[in-house]
């Protein structure tokens, strides 16, 4: 019981044990006082302080990834995005796809392998939209190449992409371009390599949406929250 309630994010194992011993947990209407009591999460009706606990097999979080973290569950050298997730039970969770260590923005963290496959499989072509800043002035001709599909040194040219919200500006360090770029694949360093191929290196990169789901701009870099039911629907139908 204590393990199950901790996994359902009621509290830490120790907190949950105290709650159980205080008689505030019922199973099928009967108070249980023993943390070691077995529970069938599919059939038993568990209540804590009068609130029903529903069994959730999968968890889904939206993280606004900050720069400086690797998209991995373990790393010998760098901090991982999983370290930013402050949940009691983090077993089996992983980031869906990878953002480079210096890339910011939307990362889904889950324990649902099927969703991960659906969103990241190259054959499924789910849109990924990025905001970027590049050195130099991205020209109309560059945009044509990017949108048509281009050679970035792989066996195949890239799939057609979409550029929007393009702006040019100048400061004391030179000319810069900011723009949004939507791609339908997830090749290694793809956005950086596409801009590099037109001679405009990326200096800032942030993912702002995956499929129909947009990054919640209320999340500061490093913050995360659970996805709502509606947001999950958006992801599953992307
Ligand atoms: N493309 C890149 O170059 N880097 C990322 O992190 C994501 C897409």
Cα-to-centroid distance, 189 and ligand 1 (Å): 4
Whether 122 shows a pLDDT value over 80: the answer reads: no
State the pLDDT at residue 125: 85
Binning pLDDT at 50, 70 and 90, where does residue 56 land? confident
The tokens describing 156, both together, are 């195949």
Average pLDDT over residues 211-237: 95
State the pLDDT at residue 123: 78
Residues 6+ apart with CB under 8 A from 129: 180, 181, 182, 207, 208, 209, 210
* CA dist., res. 196 & res. 183, Å (int): 15
Residues, the chain, total?
Answer: 238
Closest ligand 1 atom to Cα of 103: 6
Rounded mean pLDDT of the chain?
Answer: 94
Task: State what percent of residues in the chain have pLDDT above 70.
Answer: 100
Cα-to-centroid distance, 199 and ligand 1 (Å): 16
Binning pLDDT at 50, 70 and 90, where does residue 18 land? very high
52 is annotated as an active-site residue: no
Average pLDDT over residues 165-179: 97
Rg (CA), the chain: 22
The tokens describing 222, both together, are 């490093």
State the pLDDT at residue 54: 87
Cα-to-centroid distance, 155 and ligand 1 (Å): 19
Average pLDDT over residues 3-26: 92
**Ligand 1 pocket, mutate which of 130, 133, 201 (most atoms under 8 A from CB):** 130
Whether 88 shows a pLDDT value over 90: the answer reads: no
Closest ligand 1 atom to Cα of 192: 3
Closest ligand 1 atom to Cα of 183: 8
* CA dist., res. 37 & res. 26, Å (int): 11
Condensed to tens digits (0 to 9), the pLDDT of residues 59-80 reads: 999 999 999 999 999 999 999 9
């Amino acid at each position: 019981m204590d393990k199950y309630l901790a996994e359902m994010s009621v509290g830490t194992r120790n907190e949950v044990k105290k709650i159980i011993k205080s008689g505030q947990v019922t199973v099928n209407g009967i108070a249980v006082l023993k943390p070691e009591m077995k529970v069938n999460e599919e059939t038993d009706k568990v209540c804590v302080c009068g609130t029903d606990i529903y069994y959730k097999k999968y968890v889904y979080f939206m993280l606004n990834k900050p720069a400086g973290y690797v998209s991995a569950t373990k790393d010998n050298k760098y901090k991982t995005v999983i370290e930013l997730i402050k949940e009691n039970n983090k077993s089996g969770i992983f980031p869906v796809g990878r953002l480079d260590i210096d890339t910011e923005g939307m990362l889904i963290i889950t324990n649902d392998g099927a969703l991960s496959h659906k969103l990241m499989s190259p054959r499924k072509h789910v849109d990924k939209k990025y905001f970027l800043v590049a050195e130099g002035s991205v020209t109309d001709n560059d945009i044509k190449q990017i949108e048509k599909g281009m050679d970035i040194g792989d066996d195949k040219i890239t799939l057609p992409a979409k550029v929007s919200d393009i702006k040019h500006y100048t400061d004391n360090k030179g000319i810069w371009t900011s723009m949004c770029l939507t791609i339908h694949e997830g090749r290694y360093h793809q956005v950086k390599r596409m801009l590099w191929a037109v001679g405009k290196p990326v200096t800032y990169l942030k993912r702002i949406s995956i499929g129909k789901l947009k990054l919640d701009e209320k999340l500061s870099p490093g913050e995360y929250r659970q996805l709502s039911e509606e947001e999950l629907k958006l992801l599953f139908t992307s």
